[in-house]
Amino acid sequence: MKTAQLTHTPAKPTSVKDLLPWDGKPSRGDKALIGLIFGVPAFYLATMPFRPFLIAKAPILLEFVVGSKAAIGAAAAYAGVGQLPLWLVVVAGIVGMAKFDWMFWLAGRRWGERVLRTFASTPGQQKWVARLRGMPSWAIGLLMIATCLPGVPAAIIWILAGMSGMRLRTFLILDVISAAILTGVVVFAGYQAGEAGVAIIQTIDSYALWIGLGIVVVMSIAAQIRAARRPKAQA
């Protein structure tokens, strides 16, 4: 029985070099994978100002693109009043939630324990790694399904799944099951909301421009605050 190949809790990164999960010169594959892993959150962040527009006009598209619970609930509310097919809402939610998870599995398989230094750098994440250390692959498989629960460090579990030798096919099946469970819960709630849910979404749509501008302003202020704090932290 294979276990996750983790011999100790990864040390906290102390420099930019420590964040890199490879030894020596990276290959093109290394660069592409790390670019995708860090590019996805940046992409999601960039979509924030546009979500108030899409949630009412194109909720299915928003499901596919960002896989957010808000988008799934909105699409389900439209399905509840017969404006969208329920099966498409469910499929879009599952795909939207699970479409990028394989990258963390590949990172675990490709880079092993080194990649945990990037994704398990906080004390809370370190504790999770310590608890999961040495677990057999079947236990990691069970935890894969549990990644749909709040507070579970999904990225760390996906990485450990790759480290444990789990096959990609098995990973994808378990990942889809996890996404389907959460999608089902959110779809049920949104479907039951029906007309009330649609009314809320249409209200959001009527103020979408102002909501989008507000998000841009908040993001800009947050970036300025982080930039102002950075020199103090380095001093």
pLDDT digits (tens, 9 = 90+) for 28-65: 888 888 888 888 888 888 888 787 778 778 889 989 99
Evaluate if residue 12 carries a pLDDT over 70: no
Any domain includes 184: yes
pLDDT given at position 212: 45
Any domain includes 14: no
Evaluate if residue 215 carries a pLDDT over 60: no
Any domain includes 11: no
The DSSP code sequence of the chain is --B----SPPPPP-SHHHH--SSSSPPHHHHHHHHHHHHHHHHHHHHGGGHHHHHHH-HHHHHHHH--HHHHHHHHHHHHTTSS-HHHHHHHHHHHHHTTTHHHHHHHHHHGGGGHHHH--SHHHHHHHHHHTT-BHHHHHHHHHHTTSTT--HHHHHHHHHHTT--HHHHHHHHHHHHHHHHHHHHHHHHHHHHHHHHHHHHHHHTHHHHHHHHHHHHHHHHHHHHHHHHHHH-
Q: What is the mean pLDDT of residues 65-80?
A: 86
Q: Could you give the CA distance from residue 96 to residue 65 in angstroms, rounded to a whole number?
A: 6
Evaluate if residue 107 carries a pLDDT over 80: yes
Share of the chain above pLDDT 90, in %: 17
pLDDT given at position 207: 45
Any domain includes 2: no
Q: Could you give the CA distance from residue 71 to residue 74 in angstroms, rounded to a whole number?
A: 5
pTM for the model? 0.74
pLDDT given at position 223: 54
Count structural domains, the chain.
1
pLDDT given at position 229: 61
Any domain includes 12: no
Lowest mean pLDDT segment, chosen from 18-22, 42-46, 66-70: 18-22
pLDDT given at position 102: 93
Task: Domain of residue 121: give its range.
Answer: 27-234
Whats the size of the chain, residue-wise?
235
Any domain includes 59: yes
Q: Which residues of 151-167 are buried (b: 16+ CB within 10 A; e: fewer)?
A: eebbbbbbbbbbbbbbe
Evaluate if residue 233 carries a pLDDT over 60: no
Q: Do the Cβ atoms of 110 and 96 come closer than 8 Å?
A: no
Any domain includes 78: yes
Q: Do the Cβ atoms of 67 and 84 come closer than 8 Å?
A: no
pLDDT given at position 140: 82
The residue with greater pLDDT, 227 or 171, is 171
Residues contacting residue 230 through CB under 8 Å, at least 6 positions apart:
none
pLDDT given at position 106: 93
Evaluate if residue 78 carries a pLDDT over 50: yes
Residue 216: how many other CB atoms lie within 10 Å: 12
pLDDT given at position 125: 67
Q: What is the mean pLDDT of residues 145-151?
A: 82
